Structure 1
Amino acid sequence: MNILETIAANKAREIAFRKKIISRALLENTQLFKRPTFSLADSLVSSEFGIIAEHKRRSPSRPIINQSLPVADVVQGYANAGVCGISVLTDTTYFGGCIDDILIARSAVATPLLRKEFILDEYQVVEAKSTGADAILLLACMLKPYEIKNLSVLAMSFGMEILLEVRDLEEFERSICPEISLVGVNNRNLKDFKTDVRTSLEMAEHIPSEFVKVSESGINDANIVHELRQAGYQGFLIGEHFMKNENPGLAARAFINELMAFA
């Protein structure tokens, strides 16, 4: 069993457990489920820098990034820095997050929120909407095309947007569907966890302009963002580079100031 199969098996057990605790009907009856969503795509398209800042406590490649800061403090710092969106990792086993992190973030900011999670089941989409997320991440490497289609249709019916994450052209071509509005290219190789932004640069010409292109992982320099923008990317998901600082919000603000020098 490879790492993705292990993650999927663990996540399936977690989903089954959560379904027993809180029913889908109950989630659909929450106040946040009924709220209008913010558009992450519009926020990125109208921006000069396109930063999606991420709340991330740890990762499989780095056991400790920043576990001490309250979620509310981090996301408020990001919002004050002027980011276009905030990604919140809700996986517990590998990233140390939880679904309540979305709830806390939603109560703290009016910025578009992306639930970053290993989404395999419709229940997780309903859960995301009920806790205040505006968009969800779908991983092409973990889902079949019909699953991506069905999950995307459901999310779109709730007014949510979908960020489809791909690693190469094959994943993009077999997974894309009309409901997708954002395509993220993961610069991290999940086999050895090394990052290379050339992955995004090589994929740029293959993703039609109708999709908002987002580059993910390994982005730690304003010059890299400038190069990716020249290649057609409008969004840049940055987590560890900000979260490793004592004040992630100030780190994001400094990074954005560097980017503005290119404007």
Structure 2
Amino acid sequence: MNILDKIIADKYKEVALKKAIIPVSQLERSVLFDRKGKSLSKALKQSSTGIIAEHKRRSPSKNTINQNTNVGQVAKDYQKAGVCGMSVLTDIKYFGGSIEDLLLARASAEIPLLRKEFIVDEYQIIEAKAYGADVILLIAAVLTRSEIKVLSELAKNLGLDVLLEVHNEEELNKSVMPSLDMLGVNNRNLKTFEVSLDVSKKLSGLIPDEFVKVSESGISNIQAIKTLREYDFQGFLIGENFMKTKNPGLSASKFIQELS
């Protein structure tokens, strides 16, 4: 069993436990549930930089990235830096995040927030809405086409943007549908954790023009973004490059200033 299989197996258990403790009806009564979300896809289309900055404490490939941040302060600093949106890791066991991180980021900033999570159940989408998310991530590697359809259509009905993540041509072919806003290409192999921008370059021409193209993972310098722009990418998800520093917001600010 590879790391992705382990994460998904644990995720089903986690969701089942949450369902037993906090029913959907309670989530739907959240003060944030009726909040009108902000579109990340529109922000990326209008942006000259396209940066989506991530909050990530650790990962399976790197045990510790940054355990000392205040997610609310990072959200404020990312917003001040001029990012298009913020990705918030909410997986506890493997990434050290929590759904409360999303809530704290929402209380601290107005920018679009992406719930970065391994979504396998409709419950997690309703939960994302209740905790202030504007965007949800769906990972093609762990979902069937019918599951992607059901989950993405629910998200759209709740007013959420949908970012669908793929790693190869097979995942892309099974995933394209009208209920998606953005197609993200993850340059990191989730099974081996190897990273290559060639994945984005290879898949870019296969993504239909109506979707905003987002490149994820392994983007650590200005030249990488300039190169990816030549392949029509408008969004660039950057996590580790900012988070490994003492001040992620300041790192994002300097990066965006150099990019501009």
TM-score range, shorter chain: over 0.9
Q: Could you tell me how far apart the structure 1 residues matched to 2:192 and 2:205 are?
A: 26
Q: Could you tell me how far apart the structure 2 residues matched to 1:187 and 1:30 are?
A: 36
Q: Could you tell me how far apart the structure 2 residues matched to 1:5 and 1:58 are?
A: 18
SS at match of 1:136: strand
Match of 2:185 in 1: 185
1:107-134 CA deviation, whole Å, 9 max, x = no partner? Answer: 0000000000000000000000000000
Match of 1:235 in 2: 235
In the TM superposition, residue 43 of structure 1 has moved relative to its aligned partner by 0.4
In the TM superposition, residue 176 of structure 1 has moved relative to its aligned partner by 1.7
**How is 1:104-253 mapped onto 2 (pairs within 5 angstroms)?**
104-253=104-253
Q: How many aligned residue pairs are there?
A: 260
In the TM superposition, residue 191 of structure 1 has moved relative to its aligned partner by 2.6
**How is 1:12-51 mapped onto 2 (pairs within 5 angstroms)?**
12-51=12-51
Q: Tell me the amino acid that sits aligned with residue 258 of structure 2.
A: E
SS at match of 1:12: helix
SS at match of 1:206: coil
In the TM superposition, residue 3 of structure 1 has moved relative to its aligned partner by 2.5
In the TM superposition, residue 189 of structure 1 has moved relative to its aligned partner by 1.4
Q: Could you tell me how far apart the structure 1 residues matched to 2:4 and 2:14 are?
A: 15
Q: Which moved more, 1:112-121 or 1:186-195?
A: 186-195
1:155-201 CA deviation, whole Å, 9 max, x = no partner? Answer: 00000011000001110111121100100000001232111111101
Task: Could you tell me which runs of 5 or more consecutive residues in structure 2 were left unpaired when the two chains were aligned.
Answer: none
Whether the aligned pair in 1 keeps the contact of 2:55 and 2:87 (CA below 8 Å) is yes
SS at match of 1:254: helix
In the TM superposition, residue 5 of structure 1 has moved relative to its aligned partner by 2.3
Q: Tell me the amino acid that sits aligned with residue 52 of structure 1.
A: I
Q: What RMSD in Å do the two structures reach over aligned CA positions? A: 0.7
Q: Could you tell me how far apart the structure 1 residues matched to 2:202 and 2:9 are?
A: 32
1:68-87 CA deviation, whole Å, 9 max, x = no partner? Answer: 11111111110000000000
Q: Could you tell me how far apart the structure 2 residues matched to 1:24 and 1:9 are?
A: 22
Match of 2:91 in 1: 91
Q: Could you tell me how far apart the structure 1 residues matched to 2:234 and 2:73 are?
A: 26
Q: Could you tell me how far apart the structure 2 residues matched to 1:201 and 1:4 are?
A: 24
Q: Which moved more, 1:170-179 or 1:234-243?
A: 170-179
Q: Tell me the amino acid that sits aligned with residue 182 of structure 2.
A: L
SS at match of 2:142: coil
Q: Could you tell me how far apart the structure 1 residues matched to 2:258 and 2:75 are?
A: 20
Q: Tell me the amino acid that sits aligned with residue 220 of structure 1.
A: S
In the TM superposition, residue 152 of structure 1 has moved relative to its aligned partner by 0.4
Percentage of pairs with the same residue: 54
Match of 2:52 in 1: 52
Q: Could you tell me how far apart the structure 1 residues matched to 2:166 and 2:191 are?
A: 14
Q: Could you tell me how far apart the structure 2 residues matched to 1:82 and 1:7 are?
A: 33
1:55-80 CA deviation, whole Å, 9 max, x = no partner? Answer: 00000111000011111111111000
SS at match of 2:205: helix
Match of 2:6 in 1: 6
Task: Could you tell me which runs of 5 or more consecutive residues in structure 1 were left unpaired when the two chains were aligned.
Answer: none
Whether the aligned pair in 1 keeps the contact of 2:2 and 2:191 (CA below 8 Å) is no
Q: Could you tell me how far apart the structure 2 residues matched to 1:199 and 1:87 are?
A: 21
SS at match of 1:141: helix
Q: Could you tell me how far apart the structure 1 residues matched to 2:201 and 2:175 are?
A: 20
